[in-house]
Each structure stands twice: as structure tokens, then as C-alpha cells.
Amino acid sequence: MRSLRPWSISLAFVLLAGAAGCKGKASASEGEPGAEGAAEGQGDAADTADTDDAEPSLDELLAGHDFPLLIWSIHTVSKDYYDASRFDPHGQLEAAVDYLGLHTPEFFATVEGGQLAVTVRDQSRRFSLDQAKDLDSAAALLEEVIAFTRDVLGLEDEPLHELEYAAINGFLSPLDPHTILLTPEENAELGIKTRGSFGGIGAEIVARNRRIEVVRVLPDSPAMAAGLLDGDVILEIDDQSTVNLGVVDAQGLLRGPVDSEVVLEVLRDTKRVKLTITRGRIAIPTVVAEMLPGRVGYVQVTTFQEDTAAKLKEALEQFQGSGELAGLVMDLRGNSGGLLAQAVGILNQFVTAGELVIVRSSFGREHQDATKELVVPMGLPVVTLVDEESASAAEIVGGSMKHLDRGVVIGRASFGKGTVQELRRATPYGRELALKMTIAEYRVAGDRRIQSVGVIPDLRLLPVELFEYEGVGRYYDAERFERQRERARTAHLPSAVHDASAKADAELARSKLQLRYLAVGPGGLADLPPLEEGEPRQMLDPEIRLAREIALGLGEHEGRRAQLEALPALVEGLAASEDQHVRAAMEPWKIDWSAVDDPADEQTPVAVALSLPNEPILAGEPFTLHVEVKNTSERHLERVHLITDCARDELDGIELLVGALAPGASESRDLQLQVLPWNPDFVDTLSVAAHVGEPGDEPDGAASERLRVSGRPRPRFAVDYWIIDDPHLAAKGPARPEPELGFEELEPFVVQGNGDGLIQPGEHVLFAFSAQNAGAASSDPRAILRNLSGRQGLLEEGLVYRGPLPAGGEFSGAFGVAISPSADPSLPLELELTVGDATLREGVDDKLPLRVLPGRPAAVELDAAQRRRRVLADGPARLYNGADASSPVVTQLAPGQVLVARAAAGDWLAVDAPEPGRRLWVPGDLVEPASEGKAASLRRDHRMIDPPELELSPIGEDGSGVVSGERVKVEGIARHHTRVRDVVVTVRASGPAQPERKVFYLANRALEGEEAKSLGFSAEVPLAAGSNRVQILVRDHDKVERRHELWIFRADD
């Protein structure tokens, strides 16, 4: 048995091992703990691993490869991954091509007879799996697949890198949830979280009304020093608009190197204020200490940073310096982890012997023993609080406190992340990224597993929530906590197979001791007991209050064994008191919630009946679920309750508290439910299970009904857009939205530009749009514009809403955009436009890269005699959205057709379009002067962003979507006025553990003509029992997408 190596003693939950390009490993750097996922951090590793001098250099390994990042990543994992028994070259290849298929619509692959059959667009190729003997040879085969894909699609550098990233992560996905390749963006974000050289301004922010609002300025922070105030609305961060900016993105802009500056423009009342803030290191307290009544110390450890153990020691010594403690509560709830060294440092303050942490890696088993740094007397009762959000380092502390016999642990089973990751950085394509690889599994005393199992408390604390609806609450439902844990969050991943027994293991280890308490009553928090005079605010938290009572109650029992023996009697008294609170809160409901007086009652069968409306229910409309439960036995039953089960989240896990039922008695309830309005047609099963008292593995009664829902008719939007950079056209064009509340008095936005329909540095333009609804009426149509290109331009507003829109109706609007005077002409101003129905979640969106073109000639109005022009005989003449060939083509005129030009910009002529405030542009050399002739109409049947239409054949005999059998044919035809590019079909069975699978791809071989305008398809779709979500993706020639969600119910009865 070996002691823990120095590098792994200080190992945190992400070790940063730098790499120069792909040259090799370097020592890790020290920094602040991270907050990635639920359990990531970073430590001060002094060494990483031994180097095998006989191993070929990475230069030799990567020589001659088109995709060195792929080869390097997989080779690195093959050498240093903690558990080689998980390697499966063929299985990992299948996972890789599955990922590629979901990432790239044109890619589709299946495994057929030992071969990988790959189709990219309309070309196919087979690859033999026999050559994949190990991970390195599998990587070489995967490289061939990527090269084939590249050659068919003709990908440029950035899309090709994204394809490689997807292939790598797909290949790694069967190993574990945390071994992944971080893209340059993800790596940069993690670097900000983990490197101590980065700072912030010290302000809490929220996204509100499509802007960023300051909620609280931290005391003594850089923000306070610069004059930032609570309630300020941040308009710009370093010349980047905050319109439609998310909180995470705003935080990224506010953060940066310590001592660097960030310039904010804020709205304060009705004035714009500019502030320059010098970033600093923001110290977030990791230990909160408070003395609870009865001389019980309370310490909350929020995360594990460099000084956490020292801060805890300081708090504990202050407690003991003020007098003898009666007990101690250590709160690890919500603690997502951090530095392992700090977890060890904390444990050393509580125990003097034993293995504090055990690490299993490719080096074997290593451990860290306790030292004699005891701070808390061994006789002091300690109660440790954990919950489903306690992870990683918090689980080491909680698990070791339990298994090294240091007090009792109460709460709920923890998150269950018991692995250690290391970062290997590389810069293969000019931007640093990182391979995050699991290199070890940690365990607590006695080699007890944490990964996917968590720390199992000695006493479960279960909050009771009673809602405003009579008889509805959360009393017995424990799935709400299970859904937060790692094993539930990763159940749909290929790696979940390695943790198949984790939930069962956790159930076997679960203590039978539990205590329910009132967390929320029908009247909200007002139903909870108030603070008594002089009590700290922590006493408002029921779990802290209970932990204090338990610490006091264990004061006369020294040692964990004695405390565990005393715990049931102590809990019995507390449970009786808490039960009284719950029953008192239920009194307005007139429910007899008397306790079960005979355990045998809990196995008594009851009869359940339920009914639903006979007609299909319209999505979004309330409906009534009628439920009746009858006691068919001769026993008097208590605490009868019902709980719904449905694949639809809004109908699942609804608990109805019935209470006592005399022999032969029945109770019925009508429950008003609602399916969310954006749901399409579907059929599903709604079940109700009845339990008497504590739920067992099987219900005491159950009933099910088929639920039929009709989706609301869908609008179908198509959109035109254009740039207005002429003040005269702006006066005629679509209106901007009214200023939002609080923004009325800001300096008005005035259009300033040269009138050529393009954007130049320094211009103030309108981004105008016109949307047509070719489908059903829309009650909530909206247009949202986002800036994806940072400082290239500033949005003045981000939302246009025009009220209900009838079928066939149109609405238009405009967004003010200020182009930066320093906008880089080599980069586009990339905007994302979304037009859709916010209630039904039906719409169309597109990313629009607009070129920045400086130095263009201004538009000049033409005299009447110069305006009439005729398209040359060798036409046609294309009309563009702006005076440059890089602008989108909007329409074209045939040879001989006449147009009326209104203005000229260099060699381009402007024609008034049907839409107010819009001009289209034609190259001047494609037309000639004309003296007569009627001007051609520029009205079009279709818009620039106009997704394909989709027509599907009915599913099932009556078109209800209900079928029998393991497979079904999904058939249909896609149509577009120019060209249907391709069709993709994916399927996912209902349930959180089900992955999405790509099952069909068809490319349109026709490039033009009538054949190109439609594409028929027939897809064989595998089905699981119950509901299956089938998604059909159809794309046009410009890759504008239409997604259709189809639910198919497989009924095996």
C-alpha cells in the first residue's frame, strides 16, 4: 500500500497540465477553484506523472496526419486514462460516428457486418472495423472517416475543426461524463474560472428586460470604488451592447486580468453614465460562521479555495475561545467542490487517524493519512449537513466524517462525483484548447465509492411542500432529488453503462432513518415558525434548526457508535414535532393526516380509477383529471396519497394527499391540469399510483388512461431583411419599437449613412425586416435580434412585438444598429434574427454575416430622365440587397424587362422595392437606358429566409400517431421554391435516460429545376414502448432549416 503521491495529494478536481502545442506535458499552475459543472476545481500540482523515455515523441506520433488533434487526444487517453478496462475501440468508434451524425446533418453512418458504412451527402464509403485493434488504430480509422467527410463537404478550417472536436468527444463519450475535449471557447472560459490572475468588478447582475441590471455592488469592491450603484442598467461593456446579452456572456465581458480596466456605460435614472473600473480579485467568503442558540457552532463551507481550511480553523478557534461548545454543525449543502488539499486540511482538524482520501489511478492505490492537527475536540458532537448538490471535495469531507467515525451526517445523498480530471492543453490550430481527462477515482475511508453513489447520510431530511391547491404537495416524492444527481444527469450518455448499479448500491446503503419537515406551506414561508428575538437568520432554515437540535441531543453520547444508537430516539421526538407543523398547515384543507398506526396497513391494496376527457385536449387549455381511490379492505387506512406518472414533465410527479380512509370508504378529486401550449399532437399514458404511507417498490393501487392532445395550429413565418442607411428611406421604412420603460429620455438614434444598403464603419443604420405568416394565426409574434460579433456594432434594441397576427398577415419592424468606427473590415457584423411565435415556440431563425465595406461611394439620386432602364438581351439581371455582389440576391429580372432606378452608388443602380423604405440594387452594366416600357413588378412569392414546407403521411390507422410494433415508416415530401437540400430524421424515446439517435438521411441529388424543388422520403424509425419523439429536419439550398416534431406512441397492449 502506497502513500498518496505529492502530485495527487494536492490534486484538485481539474489538474492543469500545460502543453506547448501538441509537444507534451508540463507542470500544473496554481489558481483559484473553478465552478465548472458540479465538481471541478484546480490545484497546485507539483508534478504530474512519470515519463516513459522509450515512448515515441509526439512529433513522431503525429507526423503525416491530417488531424493531429484527434490522434494526440486519443493517444493521450490510451496512455494515461485511469481505467483501461473501459476501452472499447469498436464501441467508441460507433459512438464517434453517432456524434458526427448529430453534429453534421449531411453525415450518416451505420455498422453493417463488421464494417462502418458512411454516407456524406450523396456519397458513400465503407470502412473495415477489423483494423481498429486498439485506441490508436481506432483513431487512425476515425481520421479516415473525417477526411472522407471533409473531402465531400469541402469544409473550411473552422467548420472542419468543429467536426474534429465532435469526433473526438464522441469517441471519448463511452468512457465517463468528464473526459472530453474542451473547445477553445470552453477552455478560455474554464481558464477564467481557474486561474488566479483573472479578476472581476465585484457586482451581482441579472438579465432583465433584455439588458443587464446591477442587483448588488459588493462592499469594498472595484465596482463600488468606481461609483457603480445598485439598480444601474448596464448598456455597454467595453463598447459591446448588452441588448439580449445573457448573464454568462456579460460575466465573461466583465471579467479579465487583475488590474486591467473595463469601461461600462450605464443608465442611471434617465442619464447615461460612463464608468472605468479597474478589475481586482474578488474575495468570496468560503466559510460562514455563526453561533446558534445553546452554544452550538455553525460553519457553512461554500467551496474549497486556497484558504478554506485556514478560514475554517480560524472560525473554530474563535468559537472555542468564547467558551465551551455544546456541538458543531458543518454545512456542506450546495458545495460543488474545489481543492482536494483543502478538503484534507479540513478533515485533519476533526480526526487524528485513518485514511482521509484514497485515490485509484493507473499508478494503483494511493492514500492520504490523517495528521495530528486536531482542532475540534473528539468529544464534541459534530453534525454534517449534505444534499444532492454537495459534490467532489465536499463529498470527501462528508464521506470521511461519516466513515472515520466523526459524528453523524444528515441531509440527503450527495451528488456523486468521485473522479479527478487533469487538463492537457494544446494549440494545434493557433488557439489553445484542452483535453480534460479522468486520471483517477477517489474514495473515502474503507474504500467506499463516491462516483455515482454519493455520500449516504445517517438520517434523511425530507422537505414537505404544500401548495396553494387543496391537497396538492410534495410529501413522499423523492425523485425530485434524484434528478439532480450525477447518475440521473448522465443517464442518457454512453458511459452510463459503467454506473448501471449505482442507484441500487445507493438504495442498499440508505439509512431507514428519515425525518420530514415543513419547508413550504399553502401560505408560503409564512407558515414556518418565525425567528425568536436574538436568533441568527440561519435559524430560519429548517435543516439547520434540526441539525442544531440533533447536535444538542447527542451531547451526552461520545463516539459515532453511541451517537448512532441514540439517534433513532432523538429523531422520533423531532419527527413528532415536525409532523405537528405539517398537520397544522394542512388544517384548512380538512384532511385527516393522522399517522399510520399499523405498519401492516402499508401493504393494503386499494382501488384506483381515473378518467380524462373523451375528446382530444387542446394544448395549453386546462382539463380535468378525475381520480377516485377506494379502500376495499376491512382495515382503517391512514396517509393515503396518489402520485401521477407521465412522460410529460408538467403532468408528472403531482402528489395528491388524500389522508385517512375508513373500510369501504372512497375519496375522489378533480385536478385541473394543463399541457404546455407549444406541444404538438401526441398520445401518451397518464398513470396514477396510490400508496398507503411510505411508498414501497410497487404501488398499493394504480390506474392508467390514454391521454390524447391536439397541438395548436402552427403559424409559418418567412422573412425578408435589409439595411437602411439613408435618413430619407428610414422615414418611410418600418418603425423601430417604442422605447422601453426607463429608456425614453436617452439620446435619440439617428440614421447616418451613405445610402448604399451596406454597412460601413461609423454608420448608424436600421436593420429592417418584413415577416409573412403563411400558416395559422399567431397570438404572440415577435422578432429578436442578437449581435454575435462583439464590438463590430451596437444594438439599440433587441425585440419587436406587434400584437396578434392573422393567417396570411404580415408584420415589419426595425432595429437600430450603430456600426463601430473601428469595425474590422476583415470580419463580418454577424447578427442572428429570430422571428416566431413565443407561445408556440414556432418560428424561423438565421445567422446573417453582413460584410463591413469601408470607402464605398455614396448613393446619389438620379434625375427623372436617367431612371428608366432595360435589362440587356443577354440577361437576366440579378437584384441584390445592397450595392455589392457580396449581398444576398433577392430576385432577378428577365432580358428586356424594364426597371426604374432611383439612385446610383458607383456602378450600381437602386430600384424601389415593394417594401416601404427598401431598395434593391442592380449592377449598372447589366442594364441600358430605356425610353419607354412598363416597369416590371418586383413583388415576389417568397422571402429571403423561407424554410421548406413539409407534408407527412398519417401515422397509425386513424392518423392518431398510435402504432404497434418495433418500427414504423415515417414518409413525407419536402418542398421549396428553389431547392430542398436534404432531410434528416432522429428519434428519442421518452425518459431522461434515453439518447437521441439519427436514423435517416437523404440528400437531394438534383441541383436545379423542378426535381430540385421537392424531395420525397421514407424512413424506418425504431420505436421503444410508449412515447417516441421523432424530429424531422428539412433544409433548403441556403441551409435554412425547418424542424418538425412528431410524437409516435407504441402501444404493445
Report the alpha-carbon distance of residue 94 to residue 424 in Å, rounded: 25
CA distance 557 to 565: 9
Residue with cell 495528521: 371
Please give the pLDDT value at position 188.
Answer: 76
In Å, how far are 59, 129, 168, 422, 436 from 68, measured between CA atoms? 10, 21, 11, 20, 17
Round to whole Å and give the CA distance between 104 and 95: 14
Q: Which pLDDT value is given to residue 52?
A: 40
Instruction: Give the DSSP H or E segment for 870.
Output: strand 868-871
Q: How far is CA 725 from each of CA 364, 737, 763, 815, 938, rounded to the nearest angstrom? A: 68, 18, 7, 12, 21
Q: Is the dihedral of CA 45, 47, 52, 57 positive or negative?
A: positive
Nearest to 831 by CA among 796, 857, 805, 803: 796
Instruction: Write out the H or E segment, with its range, that includes residue 586.
Output: helix 560-586
- What whole-number distance in Å separates Cα of residue 497 and Cα of residue 504? 14
Which residues 6+ apart lie within 8 Å of 58 measured at CB?
22, 23, 24, 72
Angle, helices 135-153 vs 89-103, to 10°: value is 20
Number of neighbouring beta carbons within 10 Å of residue 230: 11
CA distance 274 to 47: 46
Whole-number Å distance between alpha carbons of 391 and 388: 8
Among 942, 989, 984, CA closest to 966: 989
Measured in whole angstroms, the distance separating CA 132 from the mean position of its chain's CA atoms is 34
CATH 2.60.40.2310 fits 717-942, yes or no: yes
What's the pLDDT at 791?
86
State the CB neighbour count (10 A cutoff) for residue 446. Answer: 13
**Contact at 8 Å (CB) between 106 and 171?**
no
The b/e string for 529-552 (b: 16+ C-beta within 10 A; e otherwise) is eeeeeeeeebbebbbbbbbbbbbb
CB 603 within 8 A of CB 696: yes
Contact 943, 846 (CB under 8 A): no
Q: How far apart are CA 837 and CA 98, in angstroms?
A: 32
d(CA 133, CA 73): 17
Identify the CATH homologous superfamily for domain 949-1050.
Immunoglobulins (2.60.40.10)
User: Are 883 and 889 within 8 A, CB to CB?
Assistant: no
Tell me what pLDDT residue 271 has.
Answer: 86
φ/ψ of residue 621, rounded to 5: -95, 140
**Nearest Cα to 1028, choosing from 970, 989, 986?**
989
Tally Cβ neighbours within 10 Å of residue 2: 9
Strand (E) or helix (H) holding 667: strand 666-674
Measured CA to CA, the distance from residue 603 to residue 696 in angstroms comes to 8
Would you say 249 and 232 are in contact if contact means Cβ atoms under 8 Å apart?
no
> From the CB of residue 587, how many other CB atoms can be counted at a distance below 10 Å?
10
Pick from 509, 518, 397: which is nearest to 39 by CA? Answer: 397
Domain-wise residue ranges, the chain: 2-191, 197-278, 287-420+443-580, 599-710, 717-942, 949-1050
C-alpha cell at 688: 396514477
- Classify the C-alpha dihedral 169-173-175-180 as positive or negative: positive
Q: Measured between alpha carbons, how far is 759 from 164 in angstroms, rounded to an integer? A: 34
Rounded to whole angstroms, the Cα distance separating 577 from 571 reads: 10
Q: How far is CA 317 from the centre of its chain?
A: 42
Beta bridge mates, 515: 461
**How far is it, in rounded angstroms, from Cα 175 to Cα 330?**
35
Contact 186, 169 (CB under 8 A): no
Whether CATH 1.20.1250.20 fits 197-278: no
- Cβ pair 262, 245 in contact under 8 A: no
Does the bond joining 56 to the residue before it have cis omega, within 30 degrees of 0? no
Q: What is the distance between the alpha carbons of residues 499 and 177, in angstroms, rounded to a whole number?
A: 11
Q: Which CATH number fits domain 287-420+443-580: 3.40.50.620, 3.30.470.10, 3.40.50.720, 3.90.226.10?
A: 3.90.226.10
Q: CB burial class (10 A; 0-12, 13-18, 19+) of residue 822?
A: exposed
Q: How far is CA 860 from CA 38, 864, 903, 980, in A?
A: 60, 13, 5, 40
User: Do 599-710 and 949-1050 have matching folds?
Assistant: yes
Q: What separation in angstroms does the CA of 512 have from each of 257, 459, 889? A: 51, 8, 71
SS3 (DSSP) at 922: strand
Cα distances (angstroms) measured from residue 989 to each of 647, 650, 1004? 10, 17, 28
CB neighbours of 572 closer than 8 A, spacing ≥ 6?
A: none
How many CA within 13 A on the CB side of residue 208? 12
Residue that is written with C-alpha cell 442607411 in the block: 725
DSSP code of residue 495: G
pTM of the complete model beyond 0.85: yes
Q: What is the phi/psi pair of residue 649, to 5°?
A: -55, -40
Mean pLDDT for back-to-back runs of 10 residues, the chain (1053 residues): 40 34 30 30 30 55 86 95 95 96 95 93 95 95 97 93 96 96 84 59 90 91 94 91 87 89 91 93 87 96 91 94 93 92 94 91 88 88 97 95 95 94 89 93 90 95 94 93 90 86 75 92 74 90 96 94 96 95 93 94 95 94 96 96 94 95 96 94 96 94 96 96 97 89 68 96 97 96 93 90 94 95 94 96 95 95 93 94 96 95 96 96 96 91 95 91 95 97 96 92 95 97 96 95 96 80
Strands 459-466 and 514-520: parallel
C-alpha cell at 655: 402528489
For the beta sheet containing 829-837, the strands, ordered from the edge strand earlier in sequence to the opposite edge, are: 799-801, 781-787, 829-837, 842-850
The CATH H-level superfamily of 599-710 is Immunoglobulins (2.60.40.10)
SS3 201: coil
The grid coordinates of residue 46 equal: 507539483
Task: Report the sign of the C-alpha dihedral through residues 245, 248, 250, 253, in that order.
Answer: negative
C-alpha to C-alpha distance for 434 and 591, rounded to whole angstroms: 58
Contact between 548 and 382 under an 8 Å Cβ cutoff? The reply is: no
